[in-house]
Amino acid sequence: MEIGLLEYTSLFIWPEYNYIKILMEFSVLYILYSLYKVSFGKYKNYKAYTKITKIEKIINEQDVQKTKQKNQEKQEKQDKHQKQGKRKNSEKEQNQQKDVQKQQIKQEGEQQKQENHPHISYKELLKQEKHNKQQQNKQKQKSHTKICHPLYLSSVKGFSDYITDFAYNNRYLIATGFDNSIKLFEMEQFFKNPDQPKYLFHNLNDMHATAICISKKEEIAYFAANNQLFNLEFYPKAEDKQYFNVIPKTKNCHKSDINSLHVDENDKILISTSSDSHIKVWNMKGDLLKEINTSYGDHYSSCFMKGLLVVSCWSVDTSIFEIKFNKDHTFRTLEKEEVLRGEKTSVLDASLNEHGTLATLCNKSQCRVYKINTERKIKEDARLLSKIEHQNISAAAINENILVVAIDGNIHIYDKNFQQIDQIDNAANGAYIKRVRIHELHSSLKNKNFYVCFIWGQEEERVNIYDLTKYHE
């Protein structure tokens, strides 16, 4: 009935169209379109899914390859490290074997050297070998220039290594070298034969002297070597060839090297100072009479004149000691009399003359001159006379008329008023000047007194001598 009604109405409204067919066709088309749309969407999703899966596969493959490469690189690095470790271990083993061989060779060499030199330590031998090499290099590089200054008189020469110390009296000058030698010069030879003064030679074999002093009356000297004191008797006019006689005196004198020795005017006592900060007084038999620990550190220098001992050391103070004797000139005591204060740094050198004038050197920049009371009857403090300031001052010496100061390898000469009157350039043949001393020489030549200046260069094989007589006339 409904269908008939639709047909009736369709015919009534639009009689020329069959609306049922149209609707049926439209519905079929709609169904087909929806099916197409669903199938096309699924196909599209499928395509996208396949693309994504392909990309993921490629990415996974790349990641797998990268991880493989990383693992390979790690393995290669590990192999390299293992190989290097094996090489290092082998190198360590080889180095250990070499060290063992070196130690064996060193021990054998030490044993041989100890057998050849039983009286000297192995460290001392190594020092000597090192100094010998330095000396050879120095001789190759050294320019042998002659000193042409008009005041130059002569030189103490003939050493194959640097001079360690020297001492003098009115007749002789004696010097010691690191080459284990001792040479004795007559003072008048410097005036008779200044170009080649004659000397007597002695070799100490397995030791070298670190300090030496000479008696003012007798023909005897005293030197220190290997922490021991020795007597050195010399016979310059002996007919036989045995000019020197070495007599051991005392063993284990100080804990370190002795850097200065002094003998009194009456040959009753010996005074030794060392870098162990001790001052010791000995009699001629080698017995210890007095010992003082200054607690100042290294003793750089000391000078002795008329019973007064001046010690310069690491401390900023310069200590003056007096040696007191009994009426029979036997030793009584050693006492500190005075301390010179005012220096800001350590005192490196000191020089005292017979008239009680003292010159001290402070840290290579200042030379101070004092007047000291030598009589000691009335206690008077030392008076500061003058100060000379300059960079690179290395040594100083003074007597009653002149003051000599070493500055930059040159010698500056000052008068009584401390005004500079002369200068000697390159006084130590280019070496650093370690010590300067002025000596009044009572010579039989023309019955005249000469004044000579000894200039000692550090690590130099000579002591240069200058005639300063004209400044005392």
Q: What is the DSSP string of 78-132?
A: HHHHHHHHHHHHHHHHHHHHHHHHHHHHHHHHHHHHHHH-TTS-HHHHHHHHHHH
Within a domain: 198: yes
Q: Is residue 130 part of a domain?
A: no
Query: How many angstroms separate the CA atoms of 393 and 265, rounded?
Result: 31
Residues 191 and 77 in one domain: no
Q: How many structural domains are present in the chain?
A: 2
Question: What is the SS3 assignment for 172?
Answer: strand
> Do 275 and 331 share a structural domain?
yes
Which pLDDT score, from 0 to 100, does residue 143 have?
44
Query: Last residue of a domain, which of 60, 95, 114?
Result: 114
CA distances to 189, 229, 251, 285, 423 from 198, in Å: 7, 27, 33, 32, 29
Quick one: 370 exposed, middle or buried, by C-beta within 10 A (0-12, 13-18, 19+)?
buried
Residue 140: what pLDDT? 45
Which pLDDT value is given to residue 139?
A: 55
For residues 93 and 163, state if they share a domain: no
Tokens of 167: 């001492």
Q: Does 27 reside within a domain? A: yes
Same domain membership, residue 229 and residue 334 = yes
Return the residue matching tokens 């290997």: 226
**Do residues 181 and 264 both lie within one domain?**
yes
Q: Are residues 305 and 371 in the same domain?
A: yes
Residues 103 and 181 in one domain: no
Q: Is 223 exposed, middle or buried (0-12, 13-18, 19+ CB in 10 A)?
A: buried
Q: Are residues 324 and 460 in the same domain?
A: yes
Instruction: Give pLDDT, residue 125.
Output: 60
Q: Is residue 126 part of a domain?
A: no
Tens of each residue's pLDDT in the chain, 473 residues: 545 545 555 554 455 556 677 777 777 777 877 777 777 777 776 766 676 777 777 777 777 787 888 788 877 877 777 766 666 666 667 777 777 777 777 666 656 555 555 555 555 666 666 666 666 555 544 444 577 888 999 999 888 888 999 999 888 999 999 999 999 998 888 888 888 888 888 998 888 898 999 998 888 999 998 788 999 998 887 666 678 889 888 888 888 888 889 998 888 889 988 878 888 899 888 889 998 887 766 656 678 887 888 887 766 677 788 888 888 888 888 888 777 776 666 777 788 888 788 888 877 778 889 888 766 555 677 888 888 888 888 889 998 889 999 998 899 999 989 999 999 998 988 888 989 999 888 877 666 788 899 999 887 888 999 999 989 87
Give all strands (DSSP E) within 240-376, no chain letters.
Answer: 244-251, 258-263, 269-274, 278-283, 288-293, 299-305, 308-313, 318-325, 331-340, 347-352, 357-362, 366-371
End-to-end CA distance of the chain: 172
Q: Are residues 248 and 348 in the same domain?
A: yes
CA distance 22 to 80: 86
- Of 238, 213, 240, 239, which Cα lies nearest the Cα of 224? 213
- Give the end of a domain, one of 114, 134, 161: 114
What is the structure's pLDDT at 141?
Answer: 47
pLDDT of residue 33: 76
Domain that holds residue 37: 2-114
Q: Where are the beta strands (DSSP E) in 317-432?
A: 318-325, 331-340, 347-352, 357-362, 366-371, 383-389, 393-398, 403-407, 410-414, 420-424
CATH of the domain at 406: 2.130.10.10
Q: Is 85 part of a structural domain of the chain?
A: yes
Say what the pLDDT of residue 464 is: 93
In this structure, are residues 345 and 376 in contact, taking their beta carbons and an 8 Å threshold?
no
Using alpha carbons, select from 273, 287, 376, 360 the residue that is nearest to residue 323: 376
CA distance 16 to 9: 12
284 domain-assigned: yes
For strands 403-407 and 410-414, give the pairing.
antiparallel
In this structure, the answer to whether residues 306 and 358 fall within a common structural domain is yes
Do 397 and 264 belong together in one domain?
Answer: yes
Query: Do the beta carbons of residue 392 and residue 433 sit within 8 Å?
Result: no
Domain boundary among 68, 95, 114: 114
Q: What is the pTM of this model?
A: 0.67
Residues 94 and 179 in one domain: no
Asked if the structure places residue 138 within a domain, the reply is: no
* Cα–Cα distance for residue pair 260/435, rounded to 1 Å: 12
**394 Cβ neighbours under 8 A, 6+ residues apart:** 348, 349, 361, 364, 406, 407, 432, 433, 434
Closest CA to 423 of 457, 362, 468: 468
The span from the CA of 407 to the CA of 393, in Å, is 5
Residue 421 half-sphere exposure toward CB, CA atoms < 13 A: 15
User: Angle of helix 122-141 relative to helix 19-116, nearest 10 degrees?
Assistant: 100
The answer to the question of residue 49 being in a domain is yes
Alpha-carbon distance of 357 to 351, in angstroms, equals: 8
